[in-house]
Structure 1
Amino acid sequence: MGLCVPFFLMNIDIPILAEGKKVYFASDFHLGAPDFETSLDRERRIIAWLDYVAADAQVLFLVGDLFDFWFEYRHVVPKGYVRFLGKLAELSDRGIEIVVFVGNHDLWLGDYLKEQLGATILHQSQSLIIGGRKFFIAHGDGLNPLDGKFRVIKKVFTNPVCQWLFSWLHPDVGITLANLWSGKSRHSQKGTSCDKHLIAHSERMQGSQYHDFYIYGDSHVDRYHELSNGAVYCNLGDWMDRDSYAEFDGDELKLLYFSL
């Protein structure tokens, strides 16, 4: 029996790609980790990649964990990342559509990127059509059926009352505590175990909800893997160690690596 996986449908299908245009996917930038200097170097590499893909990008999918931690107070957001956010604003102004999936490290993303960048913010996995092919896209957290502990924690963190209580902490206190938790979470989830669970999840979905491509982040393991019935599993890896991303030209999906 196939697994019925809930996902939230929005009108973000891209039935036809414009001539010469491509769709790009990347995830797990973890900006802010593990320290300022390392994060800044990574941010500059990401900006160079964004400049590279801007030449033919129609849509840019950022599939979660852009920041190692993010919280939007009423009048405050975490400092830093100005180069990255400025570059996204530039791409948006040039007509490139930006779609951001919320990950487990930046699950408190609110309307800031939507208001400032015109980005589409998605808090759930998506099934959509791109260039006539069917994609399932998700950050990947919480899809392991045995990971009940994480799902409980996520319900607590996404509870509006809990978010309101956290907002009463001074940002210097709240962000410091959150960064400590975030570092622990990042190290505990990274690895092939998460990757294997996502592959198994995709195979289960194939039984009742066929897709041509399954795209995830979360595991930090870059992988292009053929599933049953000709479908493809693609994990985007990360930008902490791999600088990996995916490119779709309307026909073929490729897992690629960026270098300066």
Structure 2
Amino acid sequence: MKKIYFASDQHFGVPTPELSLPREKKFVAWLDEVKEDAEAIFLLGDLFDFWFEYKTVVPKGFVRILGKLAEIRDSGIPIFFFVGNHDLWMNDYFETELNIPVYHDNKEFAFNGKTFLIGHGDGKGPGDKGYKRMKKVFTNPFSKWFFRWLHPDVGVRLAQYLSVKNKLISGDDDVKFLGEENEWLVLYAKRKLETKHYNYFIFGHRHLPMIIPVGKDSEYVNLGDWIGYFTYGVFDGEKFELQKFEK
């Protein structure tokens, strides 16, 4: 079979659009490379550091990314997008403009006899209660309705500021390995295995590339990020690996 690719946490737009541009070009180069043998491509959230869809407007910029995704999808390669905590206000723009389905929670997939549970990973597992409460506020329909009434020049600037400055809102943990017993997504995966077996739990959010066994023939995978690591996952039909894009 062809390969299935996974990437997460690009956070395009920070710290500034100008400084983000080289990373965007590098990600487009990666998309150009993997499209040659991709069975499917999974993007696991925080593609943008901020995203909000007004009824007739989306944030400006990111044309290289959006154009490349449109090109790949039009060629017939499936692309799946899972919202992260920085782009959780994504609605139907990707679906209507790019024909890319958007998921707001984990979803199960099966490839070549292997089972996958895939998602961004924010708010899962024990702990992180402050962010979980904040996420409920942000995803409340009234909150989205209220924010939509802010002029985009005000709303986008405010959201970008809070995204960087307020760690409770962003949900970003310190980017260091906490040990298996303290990694919430590891604990989440082990708890899920009590009721159903998965070969792979694929998540982003932690910004740390890692593969950790969590049970018999079962692994937790974090994809890392495209800020400092430039790592991605690839499943060739038999095994899953993390690789680094060097170009």
Q: Which residue of 2 aligns with 1:210?
A: 197
Superposition TM-score, scaled by structure 2 size: 0.94
Does residue 179 of structure 1 match 2:160?
yes
Contact residue 49 and residue 160 of structure 2 kept, 8 A: yes
Quote how far apart the aligned CAs of 1:230 are.
Answer: 2.2
Q: Which residue of 2 aligns with 1:80?
A: 61
Contact residue 190 and residue 220 of structure 1 kept, 8 A: no
Q: More displaced, 61-70 or 149-158?
A: 149-158
Q: Which residue of 2 aligns with 1:245?
A: 232
- Match of 2:114, as an amino acid? R
Does residue 24 of structure 1 match 2:12?
no
Q: Distance in 2 between matches of 1:147 and 1:242?
A: 24
Quote how far apart the aligned CAs of 1:210 are.
Answer: 1.0
Q: Distance in 1 between matches of 2:103 and 2:77?
A: 17
Quote how far apart the aligned CAs of 1:209 are.
Answer: 1.5
Contact residue 60 and residue 99 of structure 1 kept, 8 A: yes
Quote how far apart the aligned CAs of 1:193 are.
Answer: 4.0
Q: Distance in 1 between matches of 2:5 and 2:223?
A: 11
Q: Distance in 1 between matches of 2:73 and 2:143?
A: 33
Q: Which residue of 1 aligns with 2:93?
A: 112
Does residue 89 of structure 1 match 2:70?
yes
Tell me how many residue pairs correspond in the alignment. Answer: 241
Q: Which residue of 2 aligns with 1:131?
A: 112
Gaps of 5+ in 1: 1-18
Q: Distance in 1 between matches of 2:172 and 2:65?
A: 27
Q: Distance in 2 between matches of 1:180 and 1:89?
A: 29
Q: Distance in 2 between matches of 1:223 and 1:137?
A: 15
Gaps of 5+ in 2: none
1:255 pairs with 238, 242, 247, which one?
Answer: 242
Two-structure CA RMSD over aligned residues (Å): 1.5
